[in-house]
Chains A and B, each alone.
Chain A
Amino acid sequence: MIAVLRDLFRYNGEFAIGCVIMAIILGLAVASFFSPYEPIDSYVVALDAPPSLEYIFGTNSRGQDIFWQLTFAIRNTLAFGFIVALISRILSLTIGLISGYVGGIVDRILMSINDTFIVIPLFPLLVLLYFVLRDDMTWFVLALVMAGLGWAYDARLIRSVMISLRTREFTNTSVFSGMSMPRIVTQEHLPYVLPIVFSTFMNNMNWSIGLEVTLAVLGFTDVDTPTVGGMIFWANQHSAMVSGVWWWYFFPTLFVTLTFIGLFLLAISMNEYIDPRSRLDRMGNS
């Protein structure tokens, strides 16, 4: 495992850059535990101070230090993406494995449901949900709903991998040597599927964070929990662009963009790890 990571780091530029970016982002998130202020405190520092040595990212019109505010926001945003990705991975792995393995009528029914969830536009549904729940729409409810709606695309991917694995030679060998089905799936097939699960995990985090930022910017989430989208929402509420407080937009936007790029780079380098042809190609070149 460690040797694999070391090789990835050495030969795969995308993986290395992605790791560095994510280390910075995680460092920021961890820093929130050492914040001198509570996340919801306002009017604790001078208003609208530009970035300086004292406030490296400046302060906003609500009297908050943007650096510390951002550490909380990144922590919450990452945690949100992580929960959505975790729950939806469980769903897509279960459905993908069953559908690919059992096949036949079960497969057809599951995939019809699957395609349905791929097609349905989620954004209006989430807006409607917020509209109905209003203050009951907490951070966790949103994460649950998004996990419940965001598994479909990857379930299809896992299913197609399972179908190809089922027809491989070694599966037949295992069957003839008397291994039980659950054991074949967990011991023989799961190692092939897991890298895909990891790669889709990153992509799913990106997807959910993107939707959360979008909803939060419009004010359609619980904006009192600091998230990156929530920070941009408050900047909009105080017309920060008009009053020239550009740093209020700039730092949240910069760091959320970095998060997206970091997660995305990790996801594609994982894909390359899955496809050994491109891995050999890369090692041969360097």
Chain B
Amino acid sequence: MDDSRRPQPVGVELDGLRKEFGEKVALDGVDLTIEPGSFVVLLGPSGSGKTTLLRCVAGIERPSSGVITINKVCVAGPRTFVQPEKRKTAMVFQDYALWPHLTVRKNIAFPLGSSSRLKEKRDQRVDDLLDRVGIAHLASRYPNELSGGEQQRVALARALAADVGLILFDEPLSNLDADRREQLRIEIATLTREAGATAIYITHDQSEAFALADRVGVLNHGSLVQFDTPENIYRHPKNAFVTRFTGVAGEYPVVAAKALDDDYFEVTLPFAPSHSFKALGVDCQGDSPVLHFFVRASGVLLDAPGRDEGVCAEVIDVAFNGRGYEHVVKVDDHFSLTKVFSVRRFERNANVKVSFDPSACFLMPAPGKGMS
């Protein structure tokens, strides 16, 4: 990309951002600082407030209170509200939001204005973008003549055409099939970083979040629960919600727990009273009412039954995923483990031994989930 055209990435700061829709609180005082040039993914379930947050940054929604600063300029505050067209942002919408009456070329050219004086430059820029997203042959088509993946490429090209320092992505891959998601995810990551813009991307898919992000923010009920690198979120989740939402193979109530010298605990689980398991304690100090043991899929080791270590279990399902096999394993009548990976296939009903890697096991309070 021509460096002279490269936009200056901008920083974004949210301070006490709150948004209410009638009685419903969509955002409950979110504070967040995003440094220029970073790719931030906001991860959360439906209704967690991530779309509202993005729309507030874009200027489509007006916050109820709090301050939004883009590039050190307050764009939303008690006495300020900068209209969306003045914020110098671009956005890729979940439903693509391509204008059906405009061709692909005109859709992409939209952010470049309509001045006839700049037509040549504009055409050149659009040609360049069409090439970069691989849809040059579709330039004269209309949106309803394109597949979902092609439409999303047009939406991406339109956002890049704006040459702005901040690009917003509203679950752009959620309407696509698995293959196209993977392909477009890579293109979004590459092209956005090439463009040098800051990106805020929202999704409910943790694998997408981890694959794309420099930093991941996990939202729940309108609050930002954790904001960190993908590695830290996975290895050091802040609470039970983050742990669950970023993927666990199993979660079990704890029968007994004893603190060890470091941050680790020795834990007894209901399906293996004679075994003890080691887990990293999170917020376990004091008198935590209900403690749960969580294990990541990557921390479960599956082995043949002849091995001495581990807990006896039975395979109840196995699925080939290309790189190996994902198993569902029953450790007793009430508890099981899912997504247990092994390069070796264990057949259904086969007896196996299961052991846990302590670095992928967590002990933490789990409010709302009693002992079962």
Q: Do A and B bind each other?
A: no
Chain B contacts to A: CB under 8 angstroms = none
Chain A contacts to B: CB under 8 angstroms = none
